[in-house]
Amino acid sequence: MKERIFLSSPHMSDEGYEMEYIKEAFDTNWIAPLGENVNQFEAEFAAKVGSKSAAALSSGTAAIHLALKAAGVGEGDVVFCQTLTFSATANPIIYQNAIPVFIDSDEETWNMSPDALGEAFKKYPQVKAVIVVHLYGLSADMDKIVELCKKHNVTLIEDAAESLGTYYKGQHTGTFGDYGIFSFNGNKIITTSGGGMLVSDNEEKIAKARFWATQSRDQAKHYQHSELGFNYRMSNVVAGIGRGQLKVLDQRVKKKRYIFEYYKQELGNLEGIKFMPSNAWNEPNYWLSSMTLTGSVRPIDIMEALERENIESRPIWKPMHMQPYFERYDYTGKNVSEKLFENGICLPSDTKMTDSDLNKITTIIKGLWK
């Protein structure tokens, strides 16, 4: 059995930074629920991305949920949500008994189309919040989206789960909106095995999110709860992994960019291939190197050829408005996201891959054009 090449798997630091912080948690017996690693991870992460405050949580999904709650989203409220994304972006809208309206992508960014967003505002002027996603590490066109949200006085939430280390015009994604969320799932550019972060310049809202995330326990000698709470806080051990991983973020971004450029160099001239867009104002982290195919070779052909050699790849996300659970909700756009799903593929982007691995992958793919 050939050793598997993964799409994007956990990559611990060669220096062992993570184990230093984990050992500290064990040595001080601060295993759970909180501790110094959590406090420092929040502070270090906020400083890294340029936000005033951060709350370390159990997942990126939890972060979106609390961002919606902090925005006052409740039963019957409309929330605009990018359709080309993973379901974790949209699910918390339902947790709050709100109504998602899905917004198409544009070809220039693969992310929320400002034109489609503008049309949605005309149809739903009462909208409560907007969730934009920075897909595969590509930033959305934030100037236009921020302008629209400010014009309509609507809370903007950035799902930057896939874009830690990505810049838009020199500023970290996740810091343009009222709230930014990040994920440290096992396949992300840095991982804590599972976990997420909510960031905002509104320090009072972040403090409130921490309160909700610790079961909304009031300041009292006995257990007292005046609000509905959640078990959403990150553990001290997990936060230790995150502190170590944060030290190697820049290395991981550098390798992801190298992988993308390798693919582009080797495959870019093949008929029908078009790589994920790069814009002058965007510095992507290239979390997953992705491309579209419009010729006779289809995404499934590449995926099956790679899988025969024990190499993992996957399709572009299936849009939310096409999902069985969400298809009953409204959608605004021109079906750009549907075309990306139909024609798109995510190539292996594991930062532990060698040039030999990349050569093997590109050789298999090029063989399909002969």
174 and 272 inside one domain: no
233 and 298 inside one domain: no
Q: Report if residue 183 sits inside a domain.
A: yes
Sheet containing 167-168: which strands, arranged edge to edge? Answer: 171-172, 167-168, 282-283
Alpha-carbon distance of 36 to 245, in angstroms, equals 16
232 and 302 inside one domain: no
- The structure tokens listed for 151 are 């014009």
| Cross-strand partners of 55 | 198
299 and 225 inside one domain: no
For 138-193, what is each residue's pLDDT tens digit? 999 999 999 999 999 999 999 999 999 999 999 999 999 999 999 999 999 999 99
- CB 230 within 8 Å of CB 55: no
233 and 267 inside one domain: no
Domain boundary pick from 246, 277, 300: 246
207 and 63 inside one domain: yes
Alpha-carbon distance of 132 to 168, in angstroms, equals 14
80 and 171 inside one domain: yes
What are the per-10-residue average pLDDT scores of the chain (370 residues)?
Answer: 92 97 93 89 98 98 98 98 98 98 98 98 98 98 98 98 98 98 97 96 98 90 91 96 98 98 98 95 96 97 98 98 98 98 98 98 96
329 and 235 inside one domain: no
- pLDDT value of position 218: 84
User: Domain span at residue 175?
Assistant: 17-246
Q: How far is CA 352 from the centre of its chain?
A: 20
Q: Report if residue 203 sits inside a domain.
A: yes
275 and 300 inside one domain: yes
Domain boundary pick from 246, 266, 282: 246
Q: Report if residue 114 sits inside a domain.
A: yes
Q: Report if residue 2 sits inside a domain.
A: no
Domain boundary pick from 195, 215, 246: 246
Q: Report if residue 166 sits inside a domain.
A: yes
**Would you say the pTM of this structure is higher than 0.95?**
yes
- pLDDT value of position 1: 66
Query: What CATH number is given to the structural domain containing 333?
Result: 3.90.1150.10
Alpha-carbon distance of 26 to 41, in angstroms, equals 17
Query: What CATH number is given to the structural domain containing 54?
Result: 3.40.640.10
Alpha-carbon distance of 204 to 7, in angstroms, equals 39
The bridge status of strand 129-133 relative to strand 78-82 is: parallel
Report which of 158, 237, 159, 238 is spatially closest to residue 193, judged by C-alpha positions.
238
144 and 161 inside one domain: yes
Please state the φ and ψ torsions of residue 255, each to the nearest 5 degrees: -70, -40
Alpha-carbon distance of 171 to 165, in angstroms, equals 10
Domain count, the chain: 2
230 and 358 inside one domain: no
Q: Report if residue 5 sits inside a domain.
A: no
200 and 328 inside one domain: no
Q: Report if residue 104 sits inside a domain.
A: yes
- pLDDT value of position 220: 84
Alpha-carbon distance of 133 to 75, in angstroms, equals 23
Q: Report if residue 280 sits inside a domain.
A: yes
